[in-house]
A and B are shown apart, each in its own frame.
Chain A
């Protein structure tokens, strides 16, 4: 059976729009008060992680438009990212930033599970990691005054400047345990460049960055627990605001055009040397080449600007080989600047 074109389109579409709007206003419960329409600002702040996710998957850093997309999509992140992507399609590409380094971050969170103590110390930040997932029944009927007071009484979420914190992986590099990561390759905008296999690393990263969060999580889990055996340790996870510098259109000098919230994660993992290097081992240890040598956990917050790893053949004195995954290039993300 083929795909049949359903007739009577005008009326059906008009009815679909009408029913969607009605449902958004609470039409399923006759007589019930659906409350006021959600303001875009309320979505932007109170559903901030959903906004981040939609911006990440939508490939556009614009919290207000992402909030609008969420409202319009009735909270379906896939649909909201769809709306954002479609909008992004028609934005002019005004320039391309150089690769940015995470050392410029204004940090709101910085943790490491590789070492108990790290130079500069750990900052848990706004994380649910150590919260107990029990209902907060006080939120059922929240006092608006207390709600607003919580925001007023808070100082700044920025706890530190990243340059005050030496990178954990740098310490490992100094000890010769980690290989230097090569120079960044030129950015590839996968929405503007044709796909040509083998696709370069920046393009792979861009695909992962825009990947649906659940899909990327599945891939990560498959690598860790399915046919993989990689249990990475978080050498360092940083969340913060990254100033984005673009070349000035006239002078070409980099100028700060705005900032984006990013998550940078560098992981270290014991992993098997390449299959060719361990031909003897492959008879007994399963060697299944995989395009992803490393888990790519979705970012807890903000945009993930890139993810990659560098495998390394172990040296003779150490059985550990390390892979570091590092944040690559902010250029994979378009920055809408005003």
Chain B
């Protein structure tokens, strides 16, 4: 017997639509429904080991794989880029394991948008869904290392220590020093870690027309913000929440060096021997503003 025939052909990415076995998919389905019914609550789930390492977006990927149907159009972004190695890698795997699933880089055309670190600048519309890759699902992690205790805090709505942490920031730095993963209260109850999206993106979750699903593969949690649901960043009355300003030293607003936008989240690109350049982080938005010159 040759070595090849002595091994059962392992389940490859093509054997089953969505790679996951039926039991895993049903568990994800049950979890997603409860996550929507209890907005902001972190639903524990088994989180299968995937052919891509934990920390590379397996939580978001499992949600996508469980939800996708062949008529979907998938967009995968990493820090606003469709072509980063991580996004390319995830897209390759998802499309190989979901025969028929189309992909797109255009936000307007996508039905499923899996993302790391950004929410598209373009206004989302019903019929679309956001899926986030989450490294740390629990906003209380910065103040309480014990998960057992954190669960009790969430159960009783006890977020006092998070407030104190914010207050300490204000005392020491005159502002809340959290640049991303800014905690927000969902539907007046649970406080979530919205994944490492910048502050800039947080208002897009508030009363959004689409559902936002969050998957933390390594931490084995999933949670959701349903459409038309209040998402309120934690802030004090006298020190309101503020998004990034992208102000130069003369207080003017940096503009994208490519498309000229002054209403987008910008990346700083360091230059050798020259001041940094500023570019739209959301590649598709930048290309759309230019009328898709590359026909992308």
Contacts and interface: CB of A to CB of B under 8 A. Distances in A.
A231 B136 CA distance: 10
A141 B4 contact: yes
Interface string B14-52: 000000000000000000000000000000000000111
Given A171-B270, A284-B161, A130 B51 contact: no
B168 A137 contact: no
B165 interface: yes
A281 interface: yes
Q: Is the interface on chain A under 10, 10 to 19, 20 to 34, or 35 or more residues?
A: 20 to 34
Contact of B168 (A115, A133, A141, A284): A284
- Which one of B3, B12, B145 has the greatest number of beta carbons of chain A within 10 Å? B145
B52 A132 contact: yes
B13 A119 contact: no
The prevalent SS among residues of A at the interface is: loop
Nearest to A134: B51
B271 interface: yes
B9 interface: yes
Given A132-B51, A134-B12, A137-B4, A284 B165 contact: yes
Contacts, number: 80
A119 B177 contact: no
A95 interface: no
Contacts of B141: 229
Contact of B7 (A116, A133, A140, A284): A140
Interface string A103-132: 000000000000111110000100001101
Contacts of A281: 168, 172
A27 interface: no
A319 interface: yes
Contacts of A118: 270
B92 A132 contact: yes
A116 B83 CA distance: 11
Contacts of B148: none
B169 interface: yes
A132 B61 CA distance: 13
A135 B3 CA distance: 14
Nearest to B173: A319
Contacts of A166: 272
B52 A135 contact: no
B241 interface: no
Nearest to B277: A117
A289 to B, nearest CB: 14
Given A137-B9, A231-B136, A285-B165, A130 B85 contact: yes
Interface in B253-296: 267, 269-272
A82 to B, nearest CB: 29
A298 to B, nearest CB: 14
Contact of A286 (B51, B85, B145): B145
A285 B162 CA distance: 9
Contacts of A320: 177, 179
Given A119-B270, A285-B142, 13 more contacts: A115-B270, A117-B269, A129-B53, A132-B52, A132-B92, A133-B51, A137-B7, A141-B4, A171-B270, A229-B145, A285-B143, A286-B143, A319-B177
13 contacts: A116-B84, A119-B272, A130-B88, A132-B13, A132-B52, A133-B52, A137-B4, A141-B3, A229-B141, A229-B145, A285-B143, A286-B144, A286-B145
Interface of B: 2-4, 7, 9-10, 12-13, 50-53, 56, 79, 81, 84-86, 88-89, 92-93, 96, 135-136, 141-145, 161, 164-165, 168-169, 171-173, 175, 177, 179, 267, 269-272
